Structure 1
């Protein structure tokens, strides 16, 4: 088993991460790191929150700045050629860039960051591609299987500004989703609380539950096909897997969703089409530029395979 040193990272705690003990948070994030090492780096003060030492039982708060030192993790053998090809593809997928922001059209199947068994992600790739950038952090996350808009901050002030906009729900995101069945014309909003549940040692699932966090998604029908419906989904809140969980709750799961989908329906469709990726795409985002205050709207085109797939539907 090979090892890899993860670089220093800074994580800004959002509302989906709060109330977790720091030791449990780190154990989940770095599953390949021995627990003894995690407790050692906490005890020796290498883990800092808001530039201060903390104890293992410290509970994360919204807005906390968590600084993690370089960590040695076990990793599988990488296909270096595959990684290099992916990195070149990312450069071609840049939608917007200035001195403060970098926005890309993330391909489906690529994680946003390494850790938890994933050796290489978007943020690691761009830090390698842009070695002269002194600061480069993820503004938000997007599921590995989902394609579309992903924002990176190139300055700390930009990250803080955009996180404030996220907390104040001033950033507007829009997704495209292809779901099974014919979506009801009158179903335009789902407001159902979502709760994270652990299914086994590794996988978690978000389900509608009375004790979950308030979650709301708005939906618009773009086009109805014979067996499926193309939707516009607008998440009002930003919960993990929110759109995927809400469409499942409505009885219309997203096509080829291995965690929240309908495997039997997917199998029938796979016989006709080769495409089998999650059919969820973050296609637009609207926000206020952190420096000049201008209203910015970015759109991410569908990849050619997905566009061909939708055009072939009847």
Structure 2
């Protein structure tokens, strides 16, 4: 057994994340097993994975056989150049990326590299770069990356308290009723044929999304979706729960609607993290970031407007 002390910079971390950083390459399931068995202790006591560490805490670590380190996967130079052009904002604490669709937030599970690995490659002298939150691989738009651990902790707290405002643009298929609909439906993860999915489930975690109609077409509606919680696939599952699944959604969508939209050029999930607002941070006032709708999605709207010569107002 060995013991380490928690530094001030590490304070506020969940112990499971602390262990994952300490034992890089160790499966998350193994970390949870160490905690369940009491092999990891904090100040001599057993703790659960959600326990938050404090500066000066003494953590007992068991001996662990780590898998050999895998050589880092390198993003091609062209993609690094493209990613550099997608940076919306950067200062000494924070970086905001307009993440392209098709790029995962991080590598793993067969993905050679993601946005965070590419950014570390792009900023080799930056000692700390961590994702504040995540977007689905097929979702584009505003993504927060912290450049200091203190900033990461502060933004995680804002996310927990709902101080971070997230607004998405989405194209819903079917008939969206009215101008505004709020969905309060708990979500739970499950597996089907080895694929991880999410569904509305009374035993799931609370989740709420507000949809506002922006522009209507004969068989689709452009909406603004405001997240009041941050669950995996939340907008996609809540939209399907309304009977209006997202356009381009291979997991939860309507195959017939997908075929029609494919005929006018939709080749991806129509979901874009258009706006993001954070509360005052490190003595700086509230900040608002926005990412323009990608041209591939804008061209789909143009074709829908051409099909509907006089779009009706919401």
Q: Provide the TM-score with structure 1 as the length reference.
A: 0.78
Deviation at 1:146, TM superposition (A): 0.3
Corresponding residue number in structure 2 for 1:282: 273
Label 1:101 to 1:209 Cα distance change in 2 as closer, same or farther (>3 A).
Answer: same
In structure 2, the CA distance between the partners of 1:53 and 1:263, relative to structure 1 (3 Å rule), is farther
Structure 2 stretches lacking a partner, 5+ long: 1-9, 306-314
Q: Structure 1 CA distance, aligned partners of 2:302 and 2:51?
A: 43
Runs of 4+ in 1 over 4 A off after TM superposition: 10-14, 47-50, 52-55, 62-75
Counterpart secondary structure, 1:164: helix
Corresponding position of 2:107: 114
Per-residue CA distance 1:161-219 (angstroms, 9 max, x = gap): 11111111011000000010221006520001111111132x11111111011110011
CA distance 1:254–1:289, shift in 2 (3 Å) = same
Cα separation, partners in 2 of 1:87 and 1:183, compared to 1, 3 Å: same
1:231 is matched with which residue? 223
Q: Is the 8 A contact 1:221 1:231 kept in 2?
A: yes
Matches of 2:84 and 2:125, distance apart in 1:
16
Q: Give the number of the structure whose alpha-carbon radius of gyration is greater.
A: 2
Q: Secondary structure at the match of 2:167?
A: strand
The equivalent residue for 1:263 is 255
Residues 21-32 of structure 1 correspond to what in structure 2 (within 5 A)?
none
Tell me which residue corresponds to 2:176: 183
Q: How far apart, in 1, do the equivalents of 2:232 and 2:141 lie?
A: 16
CA distance in 1, matches of 2:290, 2:214: 17
The structure-2 alpha-carbon separation of the partners of 1:199 and 1:302, relative to structure 1 and needing over 3 Å to count, comes to same
Q: How much is the aligned-residue C-alpha RMSD, in angstroms?
A: 3.7
Give the whole-Å Cα distance in 1 for the aligned partners of 2:185 and 2:148.
36
Give the number of aligned pairs: 281
Q: What whole-Å deviation, never above 9, does each CA across 1:206-260 have from its counterpart, x for those lacking one?
A: 1111101111001100000111100000010111110000000000000111111
- CA deviation profile, 1:93-147 (whole Å, cap 9, x unmatched): 0101000000010000000011122120011011111011111111011110100
Could you say what secondary structure the match of 1:170 adopts?
coil
Report the secondary structure of 2:224's partner residue.
Answer: strand
Structure 2 counterpart of 1:85: 78
CA-to-partner distance for each residue in 1:135-160, whole Å, 9 max, x for gaps?
11110111101000000000111111
CA 1:53/1:279 → structure 2, altered by over 3 Å: closer, same or farther? farther
Pair 1:218–1:107, CA change in 2 (3 A): same
3-state SS of 2:76 partner? helix
Q: Compute the displacement of 1:289 (Å).
A: 4.0
1:8-47 map, 5 Å: none
| Distance verdict in 2 for CA 1:308–1:49, change over 3 Å | farther
| TM-score normalised according to structure 2 size | 0.78
How far apart, CA to CA, are the structure 2 residues paired with 1:196 and 1:62? Answer: 23
CA drift of 1:302 comes to 1.4
Quick check: 1:251 aligned with 2:243? Answer: yes
Query: Within the alignment, does 1:60 sit opposite 2:49 as a pair?
Result: yes
- Whether 1:218 aligns to 2:210 is yes
Look up the SS of the partner of 2:144 in the other structure: strand
Q: CA deviation at 1:310?
A: 1.4
Does the aligned pair in 1 maintain the 2:95–2:147 contact within 8 Å? yes
Q: Match for residue 132 of structure 1?
A: 125
For residue 291 of structure 1, report the CA deviation from its aligned partner.
1.4
- Structure 1 stretches lacking a partner, 5+ long: 1-9, 24-28
The superposition leaves residues 26-46 of structure 1 with CA deviations (integer Å, 9 ceiling, x where unpaired) of: xxx979x799xx57x969xxx
Aligned to 2:151: 158
